[in-house]
Amino acid sequence: MVKETRVTSRLMRLSRLAFLAICIASIPFFSSEAQDDRLPADDSRTQELVDQLKDVIQKAERDRRSDPSTIQRLRDLVRRYDWPWKVSLLYDDFRDGNYTFDPSWIVSHGDFWVARGAGLRSTSSPSPERVRHTSDRRPENPAIGILGEILWGKREAEAPVTDKASPPAEIYTEVAITDAFALKLQLTAGELRDGGGGRLEFGPYRGQDRNSGYRLAYEPAKKPAISLLRIAPGRSSVIDLYDHKVELEDGRPHILEWRRHAGGEMVVLLDQKEIIRTVDRAFGDPYDGFTIINTGGDYAIKQIAISGAGRK
């Protein structure tokens, strides 16, 4: 009993000291982020402490005398400050007034332009033949599928996506993106027109046809509003979704963050609030680029930043 109390007390002291140390070590980090809105840079002191905490947690988990609640607090602390994405892969704030240089973006279809103070602009009208909402797809997670049947009714098995109308507006850039990545995108959405509809998708792709990879989708005025998709040739699958209505059409900038760890865990945050946490290991190799697809809506993207894990 005395030994158990000592172990618990020691872990609690370590948790408090670790939190204080991380806060102190992170002061320069937050100061620099206020000046430059890129993804966080490598802070060796913070990451070193996080790595040490991981070792402590592993040892504590093997000790049956350890307090589970304390271990969970340490896990939450590590999850909050762990930042393995140390390499800047892509950054663009479109301040140079164009999208054709450093980095170079390629327009596949539709209209894109850079507006001063707003960033990369895109407007597109939804086509009834083209628009296919997330609610029309069958998620792979059985629990999500059951929830979908309750909310939207039973559906037939997933069929390949057909496109009878003109292709949606798409712009992409060729950049090597590691399997583990952290993405930050600042988005402003305009008011819905033509009765609403449409969708904005973005994410890393593989292959010249850009029809394989992951995408994060936002559907204005829909429920669910945000979904995480796995893309394959001719079809897409819902990995997870945020089963709430989200309205970003308020004229204010919103921040979408998407983080993928090497083990396949993915986290999505909207304005610093976690909305999706899931795991998918379908893709384990690097990606060939990043794409943005507008199937209907008025959007301005002021900033895009992608960091990746260090290459071996």
Using CA atoms, how far apart are residues 40 and 87, in angstroms rounded to an integer? Answer: 10
Q: Quote the CA–CA distance of 259 and 221 in Å, as a whole number.
A: 25
Please report where in the chains the tokens 């872990």 appear, as a residue.
11
CA triple 199-205-206, angle to 5 deg: 150
Q: Quick count: other Cβ atoms within 10 Å of Cβ 90?
A: 20
Mean pLDDT of 167-173: 94
Statement: residue 207 has pLDDT above 90 = yes
In the CATH scheme, what is the homologous superfamily, with its name and number, of domain 89-309? Exo-inulinase; domain 1 (2.60.120.560)
What is the Cα–Cα distance from 168 to 137, expressed in whole angstroms? 19
Three-state secondary-structure class, residue 155: coil
- Tens digits of residue pLDDT in 114-131: 999 999 999 988 765 544
User: Taking the domains of the chain in order of start, what are their residue ranges?
Assistant: 2-83, 89-309
Mean pLDDT of the chain: 78
Q: Which of 24-28, 291-295, 304-308 has the lowest average pLDDT?
A: 24-28
3-state secondary structure of 78: helix
Please report the pLDDT score of residue 155 as a whole number.
39
Rounded to two decimals, the pTM is 0.70
